[in-house]
Structure 1
């Protein structure tokens, strides 16, 4: 992207989490406080990536005041179950942003499929002990993960790309695919 010299400012943040056992590791039933001050009940310790990502969203939005945010994560097996290795899951309530990303995806042949991000799913994250739970239960896992992230982006045009099924391939061609770099480059160049 630097070689293409787009006439826009781009800020990239890399967050990562490793789910490792330790005496001080999170456990089901813990309540943690996010950078935003919102409390989160840990129902599943395998959903640790979204805890790091929600703080990154808060930090990025508060400190950089971006015109838009697109987060990319290998977030859920549920998205992989729904879309396989062909399409990345696209979640947003911003129609203009959805159109821009879908157009960039089509142009770059870096496929996405828009999945629901409706208010009706937000109730699945309800918690009796915190502002929200870190998972929404056994149903609509990719959507409830996106709903969780959406709670940290209020007022900012935001989209989430779940690349769990498209980020790498296995077997004889094992390795990273580079997706969604072509989509994002085309999205940014069209700005």
Structure 2
């Protein structure tokens, strides 16, 4: 397992539509392991393969919370990998969460999405599964599936705010390149 570098806006790879995974094999499972390690290290609650430069339809999610035990902090984990995920149903009810993204560091904005979704995906054994998601889990899954389609959470906010964010990160990338970092 290894931590992979994150793709940060304005990198054009984030706008790619990711390719379907044809079969779940050792290569795909190794990518998933790296994605979990990268996601936990960041730290984040979701990651799409394109965010580590792999244009394949793979996402990892873990929205478990940290809980305290008698000996201090113990991290509770509930990792789930979804391969070729697709939303097959969504509630009419909407919810708003303040979203952030590992590819847009330290920027958060309220985004409105369906409160519940039903998702079909392949698990790490290549078996087709369906899962009902609600709350933060539903938001996270929708956010990561958006990545697979070249959509960023800032595409769900006003054009003015989106343009400001893109301008800021474009300038940061230019400055970093100029400084040779």
TM range (shorter): under 0.3
Between Structure 1 and Structure 2, the one with more strand by share is: 2
Structure having greater relative contact order (Cα 8 Å, sep ≥ 6): 1
Could you tell me the TM-score, scaled by structure 2's length? Answer: 0.27
Could you tell me the TM-score, scaled by structure 1's length? Answer: 0.27
